[in-house]
Structure 1
Amino acid sequence: MYKNILLIIILFFSIELINAKTIYVASDGNDSNNGSITNPYKTFQKAVSEMFAGDVCIIRGGVYTEPLIINKNGTSSNYITIKAADGETVEIKATNSVNGWQLHTGNIYKANVNMTIDKRFRAIYHNNEYMDLARWPNNTDNNRWTINSTPVTNGDGSHFVVNNVPNIDWTDGYVYYLGAHSGASWTRTITSSTSTTINHTGVNINQWPFNPHNPTVWRNYPNNNRGQLFLFNKLEALDYAREWYYDKANNMLYFQPADGIMPIDGTVEYAVNKFTLELKGDYIKIEGLNFFGGSAKIHNNADNNQILNCQIIHGSEGHDDLTNNSAQVGEAALEILGANTIVKGCTINHSSANGITVANWSGAHNTIIEGNYISNIDYLGIHSKPISSSANNVKVLKNTIINAGRDGMTVGGTGSEIAYNDVSNSQLINSDSGIFYTVGNANLKNIVLHHNWFHDATAPSYSHEVGNPGKAAGIYLDNNSKGYTVHHNVVWNVSWTGYQVNWNNTHLDFFHNTIWNAQNATGTWINGYTQENNKVYNNFSSTGDWFSEADASAFDIQSNLITAASPFENVNNQNFMPKEGSAVVNQAMTISGFTKPYKGSAPDIGAYEFGGTQWTAGINAIEDTGNALSIADIVIDKSLKLFPNPTNNSLNIKVTHAINKASINIYTLMGQLVKTVKIDNATSSELVVDVNNLSSGTYLLKIITDNTTRTSKFIKL
């Protein structure tokens, strides 16, 4: 009987494999075709309707405006796969083109458009660049990270007092407000206005987040005593380049281009669909597709799906919910509600809200977020993040994250791991936040945070008193965080504390971390709570002290070092490997129950071990094996910083020790090799790599010997 059952199972899967087919879609195809490579279908809907477990749909290069929606199931051994044709670029847009422009007045043009998308998510792009909804004050520097606001001088929960409001009727327009505390913003509908007063639909200033983010709260901050605001979404405010307004009653779009010239038909696009990709089934694999102007969503109960080597650009644009009472929104460029999801090798760039969300309420557990490049997230300045995960057993590995309005990432689900991520330039709008940030509860989270680089975060000057630090922490375990093991991380160039812990923190282990150039090593706000069972062992900091405000029994502090004298190879080039014989070498204690490979008579203090691995973080990170690399470290001396952009025409690469043969490969973020430089018998010297023929953008530089990648870094040209 059991043999018969086994035979039936084998036959079932054999039939499934035999019947698996390849279907083609092309922009010039026809749904009456047979879906072959020579007679492709035109629509995704037709292709998906013909697919079953094991089938592959290959999309030929081109631009598509149909959302990709998959409601079929694959199996664990036979995924449904939809991918771009090899070597071809597939762009799936959630936008339509605008045609038929005519002059309105001055440099403002108009065209008939029927925008059906929810008004929160209306967006206009000109030559693929995001445009501003008509506003005051204007976005004069064309920088979405500067608020370009006006100070609030007074007000309460239903009105603001400001100076020099333009003499137009702002009724039914919107007001964006960021309190002096600068922890979160909120947006409301304007009910009436004068030259000095903006009345709006109101908030409860006695409840979080409106307490303390409201104009009754006064702070001694530069030009920001009671917060700041801008007004938007009125035609009369359309008086500046790159602004637009939509009149729904007359289906009329108004737009002022940057050059003041009537737009060419097709160069202006407007948002049509909220989502460009929706996965509603199980065991689906999406590969190598580019999405523009709309989000991707993996629905609740759509499990075991994979998104690989895709791009999502301007995934979630728009303004805040006008009735938001939580300081955060659920929208993201990629929303993950299904369990066992893998997102790997993707690029996510530009989102008003979140980059990637992984939801706990839907059971999106056991998800892996690995090797992604995520940038320019949370232009709203609310509690949104490049990666925001509350699900359990989530792994966030080897991602590079740059430019965020508030936190660099939040991972708070039980049993999660955060490792080898390179996160920088967060807190561009908000304050009182962290490059890594989380909030706890009554439970031990059993979260491990290790081998990450958290760096270069300075809270805006308007968020703190002159002479006081801006509250941008490296690792911020906020209210009641419990059960975190934090080891082998490097925090550098932050304007506040390396570690910040608040309220009832218990069972926190800080082992073998390095903090360089922070305002203080650590900080805590106890606020009347109890802290206990916390350990701080074998950490290095260049400044500050270890939880001096806490009760002495709350933190067990042993074998750490604070000194301004660098014991490292080259901190200016972010080389935190210990120098031979320096003050950190062989000076750490062994920690019972914690495995730490070491080379000398005892472990080293800090995140790196002399003679051990010079591990790296971010995409293509080098993992810490405990052993040194077999070739010399190669240091990029110039054009390394991602923010602000350098303008060099060449890279100076220093070979610190002799090597026989190697190559320097420069790739696009999508993995395309664009330049190779060969190294033959190099000694301690500088090599100059010409990059004049490369267009501006971010590239991945890899050093390769014997077909093995030894180190990699990002460059921005």
Structure 2
Amino acid sequence: MKEFFISPNGSDTNSGTKLRPFASFNRANEELKKIAGREPVTIWFYEGVYHLKEAILFNSEVSGTAENPIIISSLPGAIVKLKGSKTLNNLKWNLFDKGIYATKVPKNIDFDQLFVNGNRKIRSRYPNYDYENPLRGGKGYLEVLDGTDKRYDTWFTLKKEDFPDKKWQNPSTGIVHAFQSHNWGNMQYRISGINIEEQKILLGEGGWQLQRSLGIGGKGKNLSLFFIDNIFEELDTPGEWFLDVEKNMLYYYPEEGIDVHNATFEVPVLKDLIQIKGDAEKPVKHITINGLEFSHSKSTFMELYEPLARGDWAIHRGGAIFLQGTENCTITNNNFEYLGGNGVFLSGYNRNNIVSNSRFVHVGESAVAFVGLPSAVRFYQTWDDRDIDGKNWDDMRKNMDLEPGPKSLDYPKNCIVENNIMHDFGDYGKQVAGVYISMSHKITVAHNTIYNCPRAGICINDGTWGGHVIEFNDIWETVRETGEHGPFNSWGRERQWRGSRGSDEHFIKKLTKLDAIDNVIVRNNRIANYRKSISAGNWTIDLDDGSSYYEIYNNLSLGSTIKLRDGMSRKVFNNITVSAVPLGFHVWPKDSEDEIYNNIFVISGALPGKKEPTKIFLRDVGLPTETKWSKHYDHNLYWNINYPSNSEVIKGVGLKDWQNKGYDEHAVSADPMFVNVEEANYQVKENSPALKLGFKNFPMDSFGHEMTRIIPFGGDFSDEISVTLKKDVRANKKAKIYYTLDGTEPNQNSMLYEHPIQIKKSSTIKAITINPNGISLGFTNEVKFNKVNKVVYPSWYDTLIKGEYKVEGKLPSSKKALELEIEGAVMINIADDPDLIDATGGYNYGCYIKEIDSEKGKMWLDASLDRDWVIQKINGNIVKDIKTLQKFMRKHKGEQVTLIGVRDYREKEFKINFKKN
């Protein structure tokens, strides 16, 4: 085996041996090219910091084999940091103005992040960054007053009080970071100018960071929130900085305790740090990257993004480690932190690769992404085709390729992402995921812990080509800054989906298997929402438009529940859901072949902001009325803690009436008898009625990563709390856990874990597994426990542990959706019903038609209106709600009007004759 060594104290004129190491990765790579594939090679890094001058490229000329692999690794126990930044040396700082310092920087350098003594600083910003609550909704964001609300946006306006005499001399340096009006993600635009008199921000390039037509604007609850950075005059708070590119001047407002003359300043200059690039015909093989820390890549939000199929997302094909055209490559035991873009990105042809045992934190975009090439898809459409380029989806379907499966090999297949920790990512992009899958086949996502992110924990963007296994993941505190999404989210808008809903007209069932060629399995995951409020549509398992051929079993859903929108053949069985959120079953096709059986469905508490506890188990929207929803909907156990004796399955339908409809003939309503929910054990006891129905207990201690674990994972407590530590499963019997209680880094001199720890005051626990040789395994796990006078639980959990619904204190008021019959049509104010907003395609204003009486509703039926349409305009005027509709009916009584209705992403015009009386 050939070995090369790299050291910060080495020299590129050395021979690369252990005693005469190289200084740079590039130099070692030059030697690697000469022997790659002919003998095993390991490149060892001594401990230290390595600033890469360019991305390290492994192409088809630098490829290993099964017999002669290539390993890139830190030496055992060494901390090796690979950075895509350069250090700014010999800076001559001078006081500029009121605490702000300035210095010249080298010419032709442009950077978008600044790290001072290793900490990322805030670029000059309006409004200022909210350190206490940096998320959307904190003080660091403002609401727009108005905007075009259509990509690509050209302007938006600020409220007068938010735009007080802004005299920005060069606003074109500024970048707008704004959430889309429907809050499905965010966009960035470069400012092109300002109209001070109108408080108007004019927008230039940008807006490509997501799909769909909606942009910056909106009304009421759906106003876009935004901030602006990179404006010189907004450099007004300690910790901020600004780069004047034209004058090569860096300005910095240091915080207290920072001496600019002795501090270390680092600036990212690379987007990707390592690229492994071949193709399907000549792939790069058998490269392992082990034990390295990757940081300081440039942000990518102003780079090229591409819309992906008909999921809602757009992506930038790049990452700290970028793989394309590879086989049998392994990324393991690495740390990805403070990156501007994605962590690991597998693009196009990738086979049998593994991303494992790694940590992703403060990543600008997604942690791990698997994305094939559109050329591999036989029929490829995007939302931008229709919404931006004006193409007709149906016209595009003419002469559509009807061959099954992929068209080429340019997609990831048989890859694994397992035993990783992913949290606090999505620093810049908000339409992101811990694991993102698009145009891929047979991806396994197992034993990952994913939390604290703006959108999805795991997202499957499309139905090409299935076969994925999603198992043993622990996901919580996701969808924190966006809405209408789930911690696990999927779409399946492929050839069978014509762009509306699951009716025979718009969902061609016989085409479903052309793309979804293998079932997706979602099993043994814990997906939870412990927040006291959740966004609309925040389902734990969210199978959205067209998602078909899923097997969903042995999942524990807490704080929310499962949604199935139009799709085929979803088997949902042996799951536990505990929530105030009812199941969401929306617009299935006739004979969907869906099966719902042997589940435990528990309703507990009230929806966030509601005064009334939830009564129903299931909220159905637009399901077939002429056929049964499912031919196998049985043996489920129902338990409503709020209404133990008179709950309803769907609104107005108790269990007996439900069974008379032909569903759940063997179901029972009874306490499932959980073993111990306060210790997170939702298994049922031996005498549980659920077991008699066929439910089978599944493990409650196998969720998430298997490195050093701290149980429970933080939170509030009142008196004291018992904490258990578990060592890394890869450790041998002689390995031990060391921990600290003051937030310092643990080592072999720290406290040795021997029995559960009793915590009596607010503490930050850090723990690590260390083997007998003094080498740590995995990463230091960190958990914070806060002692409070009284722990306030979300309603669903509070009700569950008390065994009954009780209200303590004053709950926030909530506007109940108005439901009213108008000329034989039952209308609902859709803006006040989050489930309807989610189920109908995200429409957040207008009158939703729940049902129309065949006799009394003749006026509507004669106009060809039907249930599930949302009335949004009359004669070009917006219909905000039922009150507005009634006003227009009075104004135009006896007249024919043009009514605009929307349903499931499409708009239609109706001619209707209003009655004279």
**TM-score, normalisation: structure 1:** 0.77
Do the aligned residues in 2 keep the contact of 1:102 with 1:262 (CA within 8 Å)?
A: no
Distance in 2, Cα, partners of 1:26 & 1:713: 28
Do the aligned residues in 2 keep the contact of 1:306 with 1:342 (CA within 8 Å)?
A: yes
Do the aligned residues in 2 keep the contact of 1:159 with 1:197 (CA within 8 Å)?
A: no
Name the residue aligned to 2:451. 402
- Give the alignment of 1:144-223 within 5 angstroms: 144-146=134-136, 148-156=140-148, 157-163=153-159, 164-166=162-164, 167-169=166-168, 170-193=171-194, 194=196, 196-201=198-203, 209=211, 211-215=213-217, 217-219=218-220, 221=221
1:577 lines up with 2:683 in the alignment: yes
Distance 1:251 1:663, change over 3 A: closer
Shift of 1:662: 12
Q: 2:291 aligns with which of 275, 282, 288?
A: 288
1:523 lines up with 2:522 in the alignment: no
Distance in 2, Cα, partners of 1:698 & 1:195: 54
Q: 1:488 aligns with which of 513, 537, 554?
A: 554
Shift of 1:312: 1.0
Shift of 1:481: 0.5
Do the aligned residues in 2 keep the contact of 1:104 with 1:110 (CA within 8 Å)?
A: yes
- Give the alignment of 1:502-651 within 5 angstroms: 502=565, 504-520=566-582, 522-526=583-587, 532-543=592-603, 544-546=616-618, 548-549=620-621, 550-551=623-624, 553-555=628-630, 556-563=632-639, 564=641, 565=671, 567-588=673-694, 603-604=695-696, 608-609=697-698, 613-620=699-706, 640-642=712-714, 651=722
Distance in 2, Cα, partners of 1:518 & 1:648: 28
Q: Deviation digits for residues 586-619 of structure 1, max 9, x if unmatched? A: 222xxxxxxxxxxxxxx44xxx25xxx4442111
Distance 1:646 1:388, change over 3 A: farther
Bigger share in helix:
2
Does the residue aligned with 2:320 lie in a helix, a strand or coil? strand
Do the aligned residues in 2 keep the contact of 1:108 with 1:254 (CA within 8 Å)?
A: yes
Q: 1:61 aligns with which of 47, 54, 60?
A: 47
The gaps in structure 1 that reach 5 residues or longer are 1-19, 318-330, 464-469, 589-602, 623-634, 656-660, 680-686, 703-711
1:383 lines up with 2:431 in the alignment: yes
Q: Deviation digits for residues 666-706 of structure 1, max 9, x if unmatched? A: 57999987654336xxxxxxx436899x995654689xxxx
Q: Deviation digits for residues 392-411 of structure 1, max 9, x if unmatched? A: 11111111111111111113
Does the residue aligned with 1:548 lie in a helix, a strand or coil? strand
Q: Deviation digits for residues 140-183 of structure 1, max 9, x if unmatched? A: 33543245211222232432221231412334422222244212
Quick one: which amino acid aligns to residue 141 of structure 1? Y
Distance 1:234 1:536, change over 3 A: same
Name the residue aligned to 1:276. 273
Name the residue aligned to 1:32. 13
Shift of 1:136: 0.9
Q: 1:98 aligns with which of 88, 91, 106?
A: 88
Distance in 2, Cα, partners of 1:110 & 1:246: 10
**TM-score, normalisation: structure 2:** 0.61
Quick one: which amino acid aligns to residue 291 of structure 1? F
Distance 1:558 1:293, change over 3 A: same
Do the aligned residues in 2 keep the contact of 1:108 with 1:260 (CA within 8 Å)?
A: no
1:70 lines up with 2:58 in the alignment: yes
Name the residue aligned to 1:307. 331
Does the residue aligned with 2:581 lie in a helix, a strand or coil? strand
Distance in 2, Cα, partners of 1:247 & 1:254: 8
Distance in 2, Cα, partners of 1:59 & 1:645: 42
Does the residue aligned with 1:49 lie in a helix, a strand or coil? helix
Shift of 1:577: 1.3
Shift of 1:69: 3.6
1:247 lines up with 2:248 in the alignment: no
Distance 1:646 1:297, change over 3 A: farther
Name the residue aligned to 2:123. 133
Name the residue aligned to 1:626. none
Distance in 2, Cα, partners of 1:506 & 1:118: 50
- Give the alignment of 1:675-714 within 5 angstroms: 675-678=751-754, 687-688=756-757, 696=764, 699=767
Quick one: which amino acid aligns to residue 419 of structure 1? E
Name the residue aligned to 1:235. 232
Do the aligned residues in 2 keep the contact of 1:177 with 1:228 (CA within 8 Å)?
A: yes
Do the aligned residues in 1 keep the contact of 2:680 with 2:700 (CA within 8 Å)?
A: no
Does the residue aligned with 2:43 lie in a helix, a strand or coil? strand
Do the aligned residues in 2 keep the contact of 1:365 with 1:394 (CA within 8 Å)?
A: yes
Distance in 2, Cα, partners of 1:417 & 1:340: 14
Shift of 1:213: 4.1
Q: Deviation digits for residues 179-204 of structure 1, max 9, x if unmatched? A: 44212222222222216523323699
Distance in 2, Cα, partners of 1:109 & 1:714: 35
Distance 1:530 1:126, change over 3 A: farther
- Give the alignment of 1:258-273 within 5 angstroms: 258-259=255-256, 261-273=258-270
Quick one: which amino acid aligns to residue 579 of structure 1? K
Name the residue aligned to 2:385. none
Distance 1:269 1:118, change over 3 A: closer
Does the residue aligned with 1:382 lie in a helix, a strand or coil? coil
Distance in 1, Cα, partners of 2:18 & 2:452: 42
Quick one: which amino acid aligns to residue 368 of structure 1? I
Distance in 2, Cα, partners of 1:115 & 1:347: 35
Give the superposed CA RMSD: 3.7
Task: Give the greater-gyration-radius structure (CA).
Answer: 2
Do the aligned residues in 1 keep the contact of 2:125 with 2:228 (CA within 8 Å)?
A: yes
Distance 1:348 1:646, change over 3 A: farther
Distance 1:531 1:353, change over 3 A: farther
Quick one: which amino acid aligns to residue 692 of structure 2? N
Does the residue aligned with 1:585 lie in a helix, a strand or coil? helix
Does the residue aligned with 2:412 lie in a helix, a strand or coil? coil
Do the aligned residues in 2 keep the contact of 1:188 with 1:200 (CA within 8 Å)?
A: no
Do the aligned residues in 1 keep the contact of 2:526 with 2:556 (CA within 8 Å)?
A: yes
Q: Deviation digits for residues 36-66 of structure 1, max 9, x if unmatched? A: 1111111112212222231111111111102
Name the residue aligned to 2:730. none
Distance 1:268 1:372, change over 3 A: same
Shift of 1:651: 4.4
Distance in 1, Cα, partners of 2:638 & 2:754: 42
Does the residue aligned with 1:47 lie in a helix, a strand or coil? helix
Does the residue aligned with 2:273 lie in a helix, a strand or coil? strand
Shift of 1:272: 1.5
Q: Deviation digits for residues 633-678 of structure 1, max 9, x if unmatched? A: xx98xx7234x688999844599xxxxx999835799998765433
Name the residue aligned to 1:439. 491
Do the aligned residues in 2 keep the contact of 1:426 with 1:457 (CA within 8 Å)?
A: no
Distance in 2, Cα, partners of 1:663 & 1:57: 27
Q: Deviation digits for residues 76-129 of structure 1, max 9, x if unmatched? A: 22211111111211111112223422222112122223486776xx21122322
Distance 1:179 1:34, change over 3 A: closer
Q: Percent identity?
A: 21
Distance 1:300 1:677, change over 3 A: closer
Distance in 2, Cα, partners of 1:287 & 1:115: 36
The gaps in structure 2 that reach 5 residues or longer are 278-283, 298-318, 374-409, 497-511, 604-615, 642-670, 727-732, 771-779, 786-917
Bigger share in strand:
1
Shift of 1:132: 1.7
Name the residue aligned to 1:347. 359
Distance in 2, Cα, partners of 1:714 & 1:172: 39
Distance in 2, Cα, partners of 1:396 & 1:513: 19
Distance 1:715 1:305, change over 3 A: same
Quick one: which amino acid aligns to residue 91 of structure 1? K
Distance in 2, Cα, partners of 1:31 & 1:654: 45
